Amino acid sequence: MKIVIEKIDWFVARFVSLLMALLVVDVTWQVLSRFVFNNPSTFTEEVALFLVLWIALLGAAYTYRQGAHLGLDILVEKLEEGKRLLVQRLADIACLAFALILLVYGGWELVLLNVQLEQTSAALQMQIWIVYSVIPISGILISLYALERIIYGPLEKHVSPEEE
């Protein structure tokens, strides 16, 4: 299981990096077309919005696996080892439940609704369900990562030389 998740994680990291590079290109073109060529692009704002949505949700899944997601652990760090592990496992179970119920189930329902409605985006005329499909995809990723953390425990945090 760990090897498969590591390969998925490797792919997600590179895919999010690619999306971020595309966002930089898109926004650069938006600025150039508006201020240099005096002919604003009609699609760049919509592309940027969709890219930010995908980056945010896939990035959230990636950072959850890396243990880099925002968390308030000031009280947890003061607990003894056994209690700290229990609290971490409970938090991972809560994340799993959130991901399965809201992201996977709710996201899938949203995707199906938009397939039925055949809604398209204004500028790109792209099917909106494609954009929303990142919601259940990120939910599946977070669910896999939460299961991994529940079974094997959290990843070892990488300590940079400055933190030593």
pLDDT tens digits along 80-101: 888 988 988 999 999 999 999 9
**Is residue 157 situated within a structural domain?**
no
Q: Which structural domain, as residue segments, surrounds residue 135?
A: 2-152
Is pLDDT of 119 > 60?
Answer: yes
pTM for the predicted model, two decimal places: 0.88
**Is residue 138 situated within a structural domain?**
yes
Nearest to 33 by CA among 20, 23, 43: 43
Whole-angstrom distance, CA of residue 95 vs CA of residue 80: 22
**Is residue 159 situated within a structural domain?**
no
| pLDDT score for 71 | 73
Nearest to 66 by CA among 135, 136, 4, 9: 9
**Is residue 158 situated within a structural domain?**
no
Residue 125 phi, psi dihedral angles, 5° rounding = 55, 35
Q: How confident is the model at residue 153 (pLDDT cuts 50, 70, 90)?
A: confident
| pLDDT score for 158 | 47
- Determine what percent of the chain falls in helix, strand and coil, rounding each to the nearest 5: 75, 0, 25
What are the helix (H) ranges across 75-133? 81-98, 107-117, 128-132
CB–CB of 131/50 below 8 Å? yes
Per the structure, the count of domains in the chain is 1
